[in-house]
Structure 1
Amino acid sequence: MILSCFVLSIMGGLIRSVADSGLPVFEIVFLRNVAGLIFILPWFMKNGFSSLKTNRPWLYGFRSIVGFLSMFTWFYAVSVLPLADAVALNFTSPIFGTILAIFVLREIVGIRRGMAMVVGFLGAMIILRPGLEEMSLGAYAAIFSAMTMACAATCVKLLSKTESTTAIVAWTQIIILPMSCIPALFVWQMPTLDQVLIILGIGFLGTIGHLCFTKAFSLVDASIVMPFDFFRLIFSAIVGFLFFMQEPDIYTYIGAAVIFSSSIYIAIRESRVSAAAAREKEALAQSLADTTSGSGR
């Protein structure tokens, strides 16, 4: 998880760098998806296109749409906001994910998780300070990116019941590529060699970062992994200071800590609820097995 945070923070710095060089954000998003597809080609070569067979094309389509919107607004936010500010606002994604879990996944959210969502919202208000500071378009983009990221994560939860992780990643890349090509054509300018190399770096780091992220969650519970996600803010602040002379104010750190604390609490509660449900299911199965065995005697 720490390696994922480090890699994704470097990727954020590269996005800011190539945007500062004059390449339009729509074009950056398209080229990043081209690079991402290049880096998953070995998977296609090994498994073949038959591994992409699915009965849920519409859900893949919706997941790709919200994924594209999340990627575009995130790239834009990183290109205009200090990296630490963009990452801090991005921590609101689990809050939106909890809201979606209520209405889409039909999960029951208790008073404690509800209060954690309110606390997370207050943390975002500390960073944005509406009424005291004028909210920028970049701040709105960062929050919208967190919302659409939560939508994409909810789609992945639904897809993962029947689809493999690699198939989900591959289908997303395949669908987003033509989707991101259309707006890129209207702002297209021939990238320089330096810009192409940076884009390849973004695609490579994005692939590595998300593989590390996914691996971390496959090894241990979310409640153990999530606290380390705060390293993203630390690494992003360092990258922003060293390469772009960005110095986040104290409100960014305070607000990020508040948001992150609420996100950690939500992750812990989800982990405990899932564990309790698993134990209850196991106990029920054991009870049925004992009953069946008894009736057999």
Structure 2
Amino acid sequence: MAPTPSIPKAAFWMALSIASFLGMTVAGRATTAELNVFQVLELRSVIGFFILLPLVMMSGGFQAMRTQRPVAHIARNVIHYTGQAAWLYALTLIPLAVLISIEFTTPIWTAILAVIFLGERLNRPKLAAIALGLIGVVIIVRPGVGSVDPGHLVVLGAAACFGISVVTVK
């Protein structure tokens, strides 16, 4: 029997994740002013490890995290880490609002990659959403106004890496 969904619980976790992402964004902006991107990622990894360690230990320890596909997990993590590095680097190059707007292309990349690698089908509503999303990116980036800012390309690469990471989970 499936558990009964809890709207308040879901809302709490969504709010907590948004607050976490906001905190990470503010901390990323502040720390990249003093440290390079790889130092910030290392710091984030160490802090994250110690935050998650009690949860891992309560869930059966590292043995419970064993996998039958370690190469796939390592590849996905390398791709995601590359996306995080690109995202942090873009944070030093372009305004935060532009970065977040372009980062919202992750679902577009995910949908396109799911068609290519997972054989998923695109229906009209999905195609319309992808088209509108791409039009939005073009409006934000405004490639005809001047040269495209390298930060725009870096965050597009980060979003693509995040999309690849999502698809590889499936």
Shorter-chain TM-score category?
Answer: 0.7 to 0.9
Q: Name 1:27's counterpart in structure 2.
A: 39
Runs of 4+ in 1 over 3 A off after TM superposition: none
Q: Name 2:168's counterpart in structure 1.
A: 155
Q: Larger RCO: Structure 1 or Structure 2 (Cα < 8 Å, ≥ 6 residues apart)?
A: 1
TM-score (norm. length: structure 1) = 0.50
Deviation at 1:135, TM superposition (A): 1.8
**Percent of aligned pairs with the same amino acid:** 30
Q: Name 2:107's counterpart in structure 1.
A: 94
Q: Name 1:105's counterpart in structure 2.
A: 118
Q: Name 1:41's counterpart in structure 2.
A: 53
Alignment partners' CA distance in 1, 2:49 and 2:75: 19
In the TM superposition, what are the counterparts of 1:6-155 in structure 2 within 5 Å?
A: 6-21=19-34, 23-46=35-58, 47-155=60-168
Q: Which amino acid aligns with 1:75?
A: L
Look up the SS of the partner of 1:95 in the other structure.
helix
Highest CA radius of gyration, 1 or 2? 1
* Per-residue CA distance 1:212-271 (angstroms, 9 max, x = gap): xxxxxxxxxxxxxxxxxxxxxxxxxxxxxxxxxxxxxxxxxxxxxxxxxxxxxxxxxxxx
Assess, with a 3 A threshold, how the Cα gap between structure 1 residues 50 and 6 changes in structure 2: closer, same or farther.
Answer: closer
Q: Which amino acid aligns with 2:50?
A: I
Deviation at 1:6, TM superposition (A): 3.0
Q: Which amino acid aligns with 1:19?
A: T
Deviation at 1:10, TM superposition (A): 2.5
Q: Name 2:9's counterpart in structure 1.
A: none
Alignment gaps of 5+ in structure 1: 159-297
Deviation at 1:71, TM superposition (A): 0.6
* Per-residue CA distance 1:145-195 (angstroms, 9 max, x = gap): 111101111122x2xxxxxxxxxxxxxxxxxxxxxxxxxxxxxxxxxxxxx
How many aligned positions are there? 156
Question: CA contact under 8 A between 1:15 and 1:79: conserved in structure 2?
Answer: no
Q: Name 2:7's counterpart in structure 1.
A: none
Alignment gaps of 5+ in structure 2: 1-13
RMSD, aligned CA: 1.4
Q: Name 1:251's counterpart in structure 2.
A: none
Greater helix proportion = 1
* Segment drifting more, 68-77 vs 79-88: 79-88
Question: CA contact under 8 A between 1:93 and 1:149: conserved in structure 2?
Answer: yes
Question: CA contact under 8 A between 1:13 and 1:83: conserved in structure 2?
Answer: no
